[in-house]
Amino acid sequence: MLQEWFHQLDQILRGELTKLSALRSGSINISLAGLVVILLLLGMFYGGCIGFYSLVQSNGENYMQILASVVKIPLLFFLTLNVTFPSLYVFNTLIGVRLSVPTALQILTATLGVMMTVMASLGPIVIFFSLSTSSYPFIVILNVIVCSISGILGLSFLLRTLDRLVVIQEEEEYEAIKIQNSLEVIDNHDSTEAIEADASLAKKMITDNQSSNRLKNRDQTNSVLDKVDRLITQKILDDHDSSKPLETDASMAKKAITDNQSSNKVYKQGQTYSALDKVDRFTRKKAKSVFRIWIIVFALVGAQMSWVLRPFIGSPDKPFTFFREQEGNFFIRVFESIISLLVN
């Protein structure tokens, strides 16, 4: 079972569960329970790496710090998730991005999976430096850099996944408009008149109906128009009079159907898909801005949450406590560590 859960994490990292074709089903196919267990294991491992410094500096006496960090690292990430999750769901709904609660939770948990995996992969390097260096400010900066790198990669993953969900939603809306217009044209078609005139009228209606902020990409417009041709041509074939030659109808049908453009990103031969790929289409500016602001909020909340839950490393000058007194903040402490490194 553990192997299956790791395989699922592997699929998340590869981007297989968050690519456009996988997201079109409306939700992400992730087992939350399994992913949470893996996150706990990875978080506990990194907590052990981060608390190892205190064990080495105290010559094995201060083992409580490592136990505390093993608990606090997973706690840090899950508390940050709890604090920021409601705002992600609410703001997405406000800007019109339809994200159900389970899907939002799956996406955020997958994001934590990416972060924890990157942190755990850098854990051996943290252990090595904890063994070989006695400088506390250096270890603080090193762990901040490790967490920053994992945060950047994890939030990039989140951003790309949210962008893909918006693109899918926009495609569905465009499809709905196009089908609605086509159905109107077909329903109102007068069989005594040539259908070509109606087809061009349908196209004009579709392009006129789009707002100035939509369908700016010419390829996407052509894709929609080709689908209109396909629908209308299908109607021609369905209504074909067997007493008349089929060639004209068939050539129209072939042209429309074979000119179908793929709605997925076109990859060059040999290029593979990545979880961090940008979506090559336009997404709503408002949605983009809201996502980016939310990501900054997530980063700030995570940083300050780490300050609230300190100590993780354990200063060699101070006795062990599970929590320190609340004073100052994360950013001042990082700044002081950098100055301390340079001055000493």
Task: List residues binding another protein (CB under 8 A).
Answer: 10, 13-15, 114, 117-118, 120-125, 128-129, 132-135, 138, 153, 157, 270-277, 341-342, 344
The minimum distance between CB 273 and another protein, in angstroms, equals: 5
Nearer of residues 276 and 300 to another protein, judged by Cβ:
276
The minimum distance between CB 78 and another protein, in angstroms, equals: 21
Nearer of residues 74 and 123 to another protein, judged by Cβ:
123
b/e map 101-140, b = 16+ CB within 10 Å: eebbbbbbbbbbbbbbbbbbebbeebbebbeeeeebbbbb
* Burial of 91 from C-beta contacts in 10 A (0-12 / 13-18 / 19+): middle
- In angstroms, what CA-CA distances link 300 with 69, 183, 295? 21, 50, 9
Nearer of residues 107 and 199 to another protein, judged by Cβ:
107
The minimum distance between CB 158 and another protein, in angstroms, equals: 13
- In angstroms, what CA-CA distances link 316 with 55, 166, 289, 320? 10, 49, 43, 9
**What is d(CA 246, CA 240) in angstroms, rounded to the nearest whole number?**
8
- In angstroms, what CA-CA distances link 21 with 3, 88, 127, 302, 343? 25, 23, 40, 32, 54
DSSP state of 312: S
Chain Cα centroid distance, residue 217: 23
b/e map 1-18, b = 16+ CB within 10 Å: eeeebeebbebbbebebb
The minimum distance between CB 314 and another protein, in angstroms, equals: 18
Nearer of residues 64 and 341 to another protein, judged by Cβ:
341
**What is d(CA 340, CA 344) in angstroms, rounded to the nearest whole number?**
6
The minimum distance between CB 129 and another protein, in angstroms, equals: 6
The minimum distance between CB 36 and another protein, in angstroms, equals: 19
Nearer of residues 133 and 210 to another protein, judged by Cβ:
133
The minimum distance between CB 117 and another protein, in angstroms, equals: 6
Nearer of residues 131 and 296 to another protein, judged by Cβ:
131
**What is d(CA 80, CA 64) in angstroms, rounded to the nearest whole number?**
24
Nearer of residues 115 and 206 to another protein, judged by Cβ:
115
